[in-house]
Amino acid sequence: VQSVQRTFLGQVVSARPCTVCQGYGTTIPHPCPTCAGDGRVRTRRSLTVKIPAGVEDGMRIRLAQQGEVGPGGGTAGDLYVEIHERPHDVYSRKGDDLHCRVTVPMTAAALGTRLTIKTLDSEETVDVKAGTQPGSTLRLRARGVPHLRGTGRGDLYVHLDVRTPSKLDAEQERMLREFAKTRGEEVAELTKQGGFFSRMRDAFNGHA
């Protein structure tokens, strides 16, 4: 619908949609009682969304023409699905790399042992070398998250926490004292500086 207004600058022509047909050019004499002639109704439906391997928190997946239908039979819009990762009770993620923590006894760290690590695909056996220190990290290549774009995967890092015994019986304490003597460690001197076993715990915890 066009309208003309006369001003001191001349005639101004403006156009706006028809208030009857809303610009469609036709009118519906007997509109549908369900959609009132709009050509669409609000309803719910379920969709199956394929999540590709390697997606990260905050990414969005676009589903073309799965959004709201346009008025009057217009083309449907797109649906965007935003990804939110739930925290895992074992693994933490940094990029495409995974991290986990495993606690090993003090004796196993000193003598060496084997650990069975559960990865995303299967179980892996890794060797812990004798003399492993607290805070050491084992790296399992290509056991992390698949790369979203391209081939390959990230790595899995296993962080080792060495557990020092907090309570010792008489026999265990005697054996540790004998072990200290064979290494030339003065138990009496260490005891004056805070205790042999507390110093040992500090050593395993990384304190000087």
With H, G, I as helix, E, B as strand and everything else as coil, classify residue 171. Answer: helix
Higher model confidence: residue 200 or residue 185?
A: 185
* Percent with pLDDT over 70 in the chain: 88
Contact call for residues 176 and 164 (beta carbons, < 8 A)? no
53-87 tens-digit pLDDT: 999 999 999 999 999 988 777 889 999 999 999 99
Q: What is residue 125's predicted lDDT score, i.e. its pLDDT? A: 94
- What average pLDDT score do residues 127-148 get? 94
118-133 tens-digit pLDDT: 999 999 999 999 999 9
Measure the CA–CA gap between 11 and 194, rounded to whole angstroms: 99
- What average pLDDT score do residues 199-205 get? 57
Helix ranges (DSSP H) in the chain: 106-111, 170-182, 187-192, 196-204
Strands 79-82 and 123-128: unpaired
With H, G, I as helix, E, B as strand and everything else as coil, classify residue 68. Answer: coil
Q: How confident is the model at residue 42 (pLDDT cuts 50, 70, 90)?
A: confident
Instruction: For the sheet with 137-140, list strands across it.
Output: 92-94, 97-105, 156-163, 137-140
How many other CB atoms are found less than 10 A from the CB of residue 199?
16
Measure the CA–CA gap between 166 and 106, rounded to whole angstroms: 11
Measure the CA–CA gap between 190 and 176, rounded to whole angstroms: 14
The one-letter amino acid at 205: N
Measure the CA–CA gap between 198 and 127, rounded to whole angstroms: 28
pLDDT at 88 exceeding the cut of 60: yes
Q: What's 76's DSSP letter?
A: P
Contact call for residues 131 and 113 (beta carbons, < 8 A)? no
- Side-chain half-sphere of 1: how many Cα atoms within 13 Å? 8
Q: What is residue 190's predicted lDDT score, i.e. its pLDDT? A: 47
Nearest to 2 by CA among 14, 10, 20: 14
pLDDT at 164 exceeding the cut of 60: yes
Q: What is the mean pLDDT of the chain?
A: 86
